[in-house]
Structure 1
Amino acid sequence: MTTAAPSSRVLAHPARDEIRLEGVLHALSDPLRLLVVRELARDDAGLSCSHFDLPVTKSTCTHHFRVLREAGVIQQGYRGTAKLNALRRADLDALFPGLLDSVLAAAALQADRSAHDG
């Protein structure tokens, strides 16, 4: 059962056993969300939403982070007024061994190819 958000400062996240493969794959299928996940994979401490310079409106950014959180890909929490984001690597690795590493490696190869083609 998804944990309820009793106030606007506490965000609902799925429990580990509620994370579904199809939800994770859907969340990772968007290029901007995959970019966010790639950056989070490089930073264990967590990054604020304002760290990401995505070429979309603030409301669209909020949507992308919500999709990632509701799929169980990221954990979000407040530190002061900043909303911090962290990859739920331990949960994803336990549920889907090798998936995240494979997706991140494939995304890096694709980015390298794009850099060399452009």
Structure 2
Amino acid sequence: MRYVGSALRQLGPNLSPPPVHGASPLQALRLIVLPLVFPALLAAMLMVFAVASRELVTSLLLSPAGTQTVAVFIWRQFEQGSVGQGMAMASLTLLTGLVLMLTALALMQRRTCG
């Protein structure tokens, strides 16, 4: 979040003219803010991926018998040949994480803008 927060702080107050020129806040976000913040957003996503990829190893080594995390479930599905179930669960996990990240980003923008 620090990557994206830093990028948003660098944008400055000069983004207030889009509504004056007829652009909606969503258009300003999509056409102006996201392209400017995209490199920082990509770096943040890669850092989250790097940290999250360690979770599987930790869960495999330290989880007690009978306890199954999402990462272990997905891994076991692939190991057992249930690629469809593994991909479905991985897609749902990715989608959930994406929705949570976008919600957090929107809340942070709302808090910093006003």
Determine if the TM-score, normalized by the shorter chain, exceeds 0.5. no
Which structure carries more relative contact order (alpha carbon 8 Å, separation 6+)? 1
Structure with bigger strand share is 1
Structure with bigger helix share is 2
